[in-house]
Structures are given as C-alpha cells and as structure tokens.
Amino acid sequence: MSPEAGGENRSPETAAAPDAAGFSHPDTLAVLAGRRSGGAELAPALFCATTFRIPSLDAGRRMALDAAESRYYTRNGNPTVAAFEEAMATLEGAEAARAFASGMGAVTGVILGLCSSGDHIVAQRQLYSGTQFLLQSVCPRFGIDVTFVDGAEPGAFQAAVRPGRTMLVFAETPANPRLDLVDLEELGAITGPLTAVDSTFAPPCVTRPLDYGVDISLHSATKGIGGHNDATLGVVSGSADLIASLWGFAVLQGANAAPFDAMNGLRGLRTLAVRVERQSSTAQQLAEALSAHPGVESVRYPGLASHPQHELAQRQMRMFGGLLAFDLAGGHEAGERFVDAAKLAQAATSLGGPETLVTHSASTTHAGLAPEELEAAGIGPGTIRVSVGLEHSDDVVADLLHATELATASFA
C-alpha cells in the first residue's frame, strides 16, 4: 500500500497542530481549523492533482462512493478543498461542508440537489439576483413551484409552507441589497421542509445559522470569507447526511471548487474576524454620518437604531458587517453622479474585500429586474450599496460624504 492510502500525509515526526476541538471562540477557530490532514506547514498546501493512485480495487470502490474521500478524483474531493471544507464546518458548528466553484454553484447545488419536479419551495423576495433568477426562471422549467414571501415579515415563511409538498425554505440574511433580516429562530423552528440560509452577508464570526436550528448554511465565499477578491468560491454546511446527499448531485453538477480558490478561501478565513471587525466599525461610522446628511433620504444598516429590525440584529449578529445601503435624494441622476464623484471608493460589484466598493443597485447588481420587481425588492433609482473595505475609516467616511455632497447639491 502506498503511504497515502490512509488518506493522510502526516509524518510521525511532525509536531501536531493545536486541536480546534478545545476552543469555541470563532476568532480562534478561524486560525486553528482545517489543519487535520496537513503536515507541519502553517499555510494550506496546494494539491493541483486531479487524480490519485488507488491502492486496491476494494479501496477504489469505497473511495469512489465516499463523500468524505478527498484523494480519489478532484471533482469528487481534493485535499486542499477538504481543508477549506473542514475549516468551514468547524466555524459553522456543522458536521460537514461541501465547497463549490462559486456561490451560485452552492445555491444551485442545494436547490437542484434537493428538489424534484412536483416539489414546492418557499423563498423570500429580497434575494441575491442570481438566486432570484434561478428560483423564478429555472425552477419552473423543472416543475419546481416557488412561492415568494416577504422574509422580514414575522411568520411569512411558515404561512407559505404546504405540508407534504414544500421541500425547501430558502432565506438570505442580511439580504441583498437593503439589509433586511430574517428571524433565524423563527426559521429554525419550521418543521417539515428543510431550511437553508444564504449567510454571505453574515459570515460565521457574525452569525451561525445552524445554531438556530436551520438545516443548511451557505455562502458565496467569493465575498468576505475569501476576502481579497481573488477566489471564486461557494460553500454549504450542514449535517454529514445532508452534505453526503448533496454530494451525490454535486459530483454530477461538476461545480466543484478549484484547489487554488479553496487555498485562497482558507487563507482568507484566517483573518476573517479582524477584517469584519474593522469593516463593521467603519460601516457604523459611515451609516451615522450619511444619516445626518441632508442629501440622503434614508440609510439601511443593521447597526443603526433606525433599522426596522435593529433589535433582531442585536440578537442574531455579533457584529453588523461591512454592508450598507442608502437612498440619495435626486434618484438616478444623483446615483450616477455619486459613483463618478467617489475617489477612494470604487465602482465595482462584489463585497467583503479590502477595497471599499459602491454600486448603483438598479443599474448593476439588479439591472435585470423589471421596474415592479425593483420596487418590490425595495430598490429605488437613488439606491447605493456600499461594501466597506479596510481603508482608514476617516478616509472612507470623508470620501463618501464628499461624493454625496457633489451628487445631491442641487436636489437636497
């Protein structure tokens, strides 16, 4: 048998890594997790191999069918990807995790991996636009019926569940782009269908959906978890049984995470908590400053007392995150001027990276929506979404206040 037949390459003389099992604080877990199968190296090892020697036919048969096997064929599993998955499962308080080639790979893997023709899904109206298109346009083609509800309205998900037919309840919190929250305790209490949360805006150092009884937590790790705008990556966490059943579809779907992206995802996880802390404190300062500006009609940030679900945010978020949205007086024209006037903040989609990014929602992330859909999602002609970066807070606040001044001088 080859030395790696046991699925580990740890040599006996290698000093053991500190065991994450002895710790519970997410900041500490983020540093310790995902090192089980590693050697003495302190950074993730990159396994580019697409295939691995099979020690015997019997072992091969077992390896081919095992969701946890990371040294058989990389579409099924890969050691670098497995290290990222293990770290995510640890941070989420989950038994297992499966990484995907993107956040949409994860969303598609969950929805099409779990639901069949004739099934029913309850989802919220406030969603990442890609997820919304998938539910609205693709699911009906496969005979999957979807009911959209207002995720911020108490009891809305439960009320739309059709006993015996609803397979999945799909939520996103905080939600794109207006930071509406879903009450996770309420969601986790739903019995019958599986419950899933896209928690991209609230990474594990902020919120852990599984702690509330939710079945599946998923992320676009392209965003805050990767955190450096250099990895396209998704991840789903849950019970070992659930992840194993998703794995059966995921291997056919072929949206497996690339080892290089998983390596960057794991690198990003190590500093997640300090990055989100900085982004949250700058976002709070920015939200307060914008709220006081006459050119701003309203600001949405979970950390503001004016957020309609501020009390819920305090209950289920350890920090309020780096995302905020606001409405400029002057609509579309002001929105356009604002994006042009910002000097430090850059106009780009995505979020959770080192650079502060601004997007005019109606003409970028939600450009494909019809006017009535924009209105239903709470996106106005002057809605701007900000992903606060890691620059000094004084610079971020000054830049965006200046841009607001220039954009709204003739409207306020």
Ligand X SMILES: *Cc1c(COP(=O)(O)O)cnc(C)c1O
Which residue ranges make up the site for ligand X (CB under 6 A)?
102-104, 107, 128, 130-131, 172, 176, 198, 200, 220, 222-223, 232, 234
What are the C-alpha distances in Å from 158 to residues 124, 151, 187? 12, 10, 8
- Which DSSP category does 17 fall into? P
What are the C-alpha distances in Å from 411 to residues 329, 360, 382, 404, 406? 6, 18, 12, 11, 10
DSSP three-state, residue 304: coil
Return the residue nearest ligand X (CB atom).
103
Residue 196, both tokens: 């899933």
Which residues are within 8 A (CB) of 128 and not within 5 positions of it... i.e. 6 or more apart? 103, 107, 172, 176, 198, 200, 220
CB 406 to ligand X: min, Å: 28
Q: CB of 362 within 8 A of CB of 379?
A: yes
Instruction: Name which of 128 and 247 has its Cβ closer to ligand X.
Output: 128
CB 104 to ligand X: min, Å: 4
Instruction: Name which of 108 and 408 has its Cβ closer to ligand X.
Output: 108
CB 355: neighbour CB atoms within 10 A?
16
DSSP three-state, residue 323: strand
CB 172 to ligand X: min, Å: 6
CB 268: neighbour CB atoms within 10 A?
26
CB 218 to ligand X: min, Å: 8
Instruction: Name which of 104 and 272 has its Cβ closer to ligand X.
Output: 104
CB 107 to ligand X: min, Å: 6
Residue 31 and residue 17: Cα distance in Å, rounded? 11
Residue 155, both tokens: 């009891």
Burial class (CB in 10 A: 0-12, 13-18, 19+), 141: exposed
Element (H, E) at 167: strand 166-172
Q: Are strands 296-300 and 357-360 parallel, antiparallel or unpaired?
A: unpaired
CB 405 to ligand X: min, Å: 29
Annotated catalytic sites, by residue?
A: 75, 128, 198, 223
